[in-house]
């Protein structure tokens, strides 16, 4: 893909989102967590090393994730998201946790939150 093609791709501002929610297939439960932009590779979620999330999802998997903005009046968005990396945090801040890197592939639709 050329530089010009890459610039034409729809981009999402990762800093606009506060948290993300997704279904853990096989468990039938939703997992919601804060988004972090601390990884050198972009936005990520922090997951305990023994979390079921790491048992059910691997690098390269694509999930339909529901993104929330800090402003609760803004509609949530479902965005197709790929897991790009799962790595150990090299700092003491998140000891016992993994960084799960996320990459938004495309938007699917917007959901309005009822009053």
What pLDDT digit, counting tens, does each position of 88-104 carry? 887 888 889 999 999 98
**pTM (whole model) above 0.85:** no
Which CATH number applies to 3-111? 2.30.110.10
The burial class, CB within 10 Å (0-12 / 13-18 / 19+), for 22 is buried
- Region 28-48: mean pLDDT is 83
| Beta strands 76-88 and 29-34, pairing class | unpaired
DSSP state of 85: E
- Region 42-69: mean pLDDT is 91
Tokens at 49, concatenated: 């090393």
Euclidean distance between CA atoms 33 and 9, whole angstroms = 27
- Region 54-73: mean pLDDT is 91
| Model pLDDT, residue 80 | 92
- Cβ 36 vs Cβ 15: under 8 Å: no
């Amino acid at each position: 893909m050329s530089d010009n093609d890459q610039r034409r791709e729809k981009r999402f501002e990762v800093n606009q989102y506060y948290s993300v929610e997704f279904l853990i297939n096989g468990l039938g439960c939703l997992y919601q967590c804060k988004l972090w932009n601390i990884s050198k590779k972009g936005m990520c979620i922090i997951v305990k090393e023994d979390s079921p999330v790491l048992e059910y999802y691997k690098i390269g998997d694509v999930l339909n994730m529901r993104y929330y903005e800090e402003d609760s009046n803004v509609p949530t968005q479902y965005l197709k998201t790929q897991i790009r990396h799962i790595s150990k945090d090299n700092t003491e801040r998140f000891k016992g946790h993994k960084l799960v890197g996320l990459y938004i592939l495309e938007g699917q639709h917007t959901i309005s939150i009822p009053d």
